[in-house]
Amino acid sequence: MERGTSNAPMILGIIGAVVSLPNLLCASMCGALVGGAAGGEAGAALGAWLGFIPVVLGFVASFFGKSKPTFCGISMLICTLISFITVIMTGFTSIFGWAALILFLIAGIIAFTQTKEKVSA
């Protein structure tokens, strides 16, 4: 079994998840505005769910940064993709979305490329 040697994915994942919290509000408000009067509630719900997933998945994946680096890397790249969708929803104006996107992307890349050590099970 292999284990990662770097703490960077964990640290960047936690910071990315915390930065994603304000992005949750931005995405839900922009989803409500894009949805208009007829679909405003549905757009707000979609924005809230898309904003909520990176927060939870970022926290969960960051704690597996050393023990399961492949899971952490895949999860961080999923968080990057969802953060990019929320950035698109906000018209590329959410600075929190951009910050979370960059942090998750760097954490995912480091999780895949970090040196790994053999651990006996």
Give the SS3 label for residue 23.
helix
Domain ranges of the chain: 2-118
pLDDT value, residue 57: 95
pTM of the model: 0.87
- Tens of pLDDT, residues 97-116: 899 999 999 999 999 999 88
Burial of 100 (0-12, 13-18, 19+ CB in 10 A): buried
Other beta carbons less than 10 A from residue 48's beta carbon: 17
3-state helix, strand, coil in the chain (%, to 5): 80, 5, 15
> 65 near 72, Cβ under 8 Å?
yes
Q: Which two tokens stand for residue 116?
A: 């790994």
Confidence of residue 72 (pLDDT cuts 50, 70, 90): very high
